[in-house]
C-alpha cells in the first residue's frame, strides 16, 4: 500500500466565472520512505498539488488516498490531527515567531498534539539537536541567520515525528552554502531516519538529492523518473 496515492486529480478555480484548471488529471503514487522532488515552472500546478497532498487545500475531481484511506472521508478534526501528527511542513519563508526562542518555536506543534506536556521540552530539544543547533537553543529567531532559521523550521517539522515532510522551496531564500547545508539535513532525514520527503524546488541540482523527480507542466505530469545518481553532501567537495 502506497503512503500517497492520487488518481486523475483535478483542481479547478472559478473566480467570478473565470475558470482556471490548476491540475488537469494527475495520477501518481509515493511510497513510505521515498524522497521525491516535484519540479515545474511558475504556474505549473506544483504548489497546488503539494497543498492538496498536505491537506491544506481540497481538490475538485479524482481521488486522494493517504495511508489507504480516501481523504474525502476524513472529518475536519481528523484532517487537523493528521496534519499535526503525520505531516511536517517546511516553507521558504520559515514562518518562525521572531521574538520566541529556537526551543519555543520548535515546541509549537506539540501544543496541538496528544503528547503529554511533560515530554515537550525533551522532544523539542531532540529535534533541535538533530539539525545541529544545540548551541542556539535559547536564541530568538531574530538572532539567527537565514540558514539557521530554516534548520529551526525543519526541527519544528520533525518534533511530532511525522510520516512525511513537505518542503516547499526550502533553499529559496538562502545563499548557496546555507542552501546546501539545509538540503543535506533534509536528505539525511530520509536516508538515516526514514522520513518520506516531498520536496518542491525549481533547481535541478537541489532536486537531484531525491530518489525520484516528478516534473509538472500545465497541471499535468510531464515526466516521472528515478534519479540514477543522487547528489550528496560529498558532491560539494568534488565539484
- pLDDT tens digits along 120-150: 999 999 999 999 999 999 999 999 999 999 9
Q: Which three cell numbers stand for residue 228?
A: 540514477
Whole-prediction pTM: 0.91
Q: Which three cell numbers stand for residue 138?
A: 535559547
The alpha carbon torsion through 137, 142, 148, 149 (nearest 10 deg) reads 100
Half-sphere exposure of 84 (CA within 13 A, CB side): 15
181-196 pLDDT per residue, tens: 999 999 999 999 999 9
130 alpha-carbon distance from chain centroid: 17
Fill in the DSSP letter of residue 140.
B
72-104 pLDDT per residue, tens: 999 999 999 999 999 999 988 889 999 999 999
Amino acid at each position: 500500500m502506497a503512503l500517497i496515492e492520487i488518481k486523475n486529480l483535478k483542481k479547478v478555480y472559478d473566480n467570478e466565472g473565470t475558470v482556471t484548471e490548476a491540475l488537469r488529471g494527475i495520477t501518481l503514487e509515493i511510497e513510505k520512505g521515498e524522497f521525491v522532488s516535484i519540479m515545474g515552472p511558475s504556474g505549473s500546478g506544483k504548489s497546488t498539488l503539494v497543498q492538496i497532498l498536505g491537506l491544506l487545500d481540497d481538490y475538485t475531481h479524482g481521488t486522494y488516498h493517504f495511508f489507504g484511506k480516501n481523504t474525502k472521508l476524513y472529518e475536519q478534526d481528523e484532517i487537523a490531527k493528521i496534519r499535526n501528527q503525520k505531516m511536517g511542513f517546511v516553507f521558504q519563508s520559515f514562518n518562525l515567531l521572531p521574538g520566541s526562542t529556537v526551543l519555543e518555536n520548535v515546541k509549537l506543534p506539540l501544543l496541538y498534539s496528544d503528547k503529554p506536556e511533560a515530554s515537550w521540552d525533551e522532544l523539542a530539544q531532540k529535534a533541535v539537536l538533530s539539525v545541529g543547533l544545540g548551541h542556539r537553543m535559547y536564541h530568538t529567531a531574530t538572532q539567527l541567520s537565514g540558514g539557521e532559521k530554516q534548520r529551526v523550521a525543519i526541527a519544528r517539522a520533525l518534533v511530532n515525528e511525522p510520516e512525511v515532510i513537505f518542503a516547499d522551496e526550502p533553499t529559496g531564500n538562502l545563499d548557496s552554502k546555507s542552501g546546501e547545508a539545509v538540503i543535506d539535513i533534509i536528505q539525511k532525514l530520509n536516508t538515516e531516519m526514514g522520513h518520506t520527503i516531498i520536496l518542491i524546488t525549481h533547481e535541478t541540482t537541489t532536486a537531484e538529492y531525491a530518489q525520484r523527480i516528478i516534473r509538472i507542466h500545465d497541471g499535468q505530469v510531464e515526466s516521472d523518473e528515478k534519479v540514477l545518481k543522487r547528489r550528496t553532501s560529498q558532491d560539494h567537495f568534488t565539484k
